[in-house]
Amino acid sequence: MRLFVAIAMPEDVTDRLAAVMGGLDGARWVDPADLHLTLRFVGEVGRDAAEDLAAALSSLRAPAFALRLSGFGYFGGGRRVRALWAGVEAQPALEVLQGRVEAAARRAGQPAEPRKFVPHVTLARMAGPVGEDEVAHWISVRGAFTAGPFEVREAVLFESFPGRDGPLYERRLAVPLERLPDADDWEQGEFD
């Protein structure tokens, strides 16, 4: 099983992203229904390891929070841009969630993630040599981009399957995040 933990994008955000996708030669665009923010890539594991991970994630506790996408960027450089993505505004609660997902993965026996967490939503992977100039032009034509804010209410364990037009994702476990009371709740006496 090939697994990862992510935040799925709500429909209004995927609609905004889908509206700007396209128009870059050499890009393989992610299906808008599959857009997500990866919290932890796990990779290929056996059934026992997958069950251990699901159990560890089930005990995860973290608050729900609002998230906003902002701007575009890319990984790679020169003539070898590898991926184009939408950025994420800094949000301490996202860092907390990612840290707790990482801790759960470690408790389940997964090795430490060596890469620094760079929150983003991958829009396209490059099928061939695509250079920084082409990607920078694509970004500049689209101008300033934002989507959201939207409430993040769960983290999802996904399984990835190879597909003819790119990977297919299936939800394996949804981990609900805790809703924190707001001022209206206190005024209505819900937390007395």
Catalytic residues: 36, 120
Give me the phi and psi of 31, to 5 degrees please: -60, 125
Are 30 and 91 a contacting pair, CB within 8 Å? Answer: no
Are 76 and 133 a contacting pair, CB within 8 Å? Answer: no
Q: How far is CA 160 from CA 3, 4, 36, 53, 137, in A?
A: 6, 8, 13, 15, 32
Are 70 and 89 a contacting pair, CB within 8 Å? Answer: yes
Instruction: Give the E-state strand segments of 31-109 in sequence order.
Output: 36-44, 65-77, 80-88
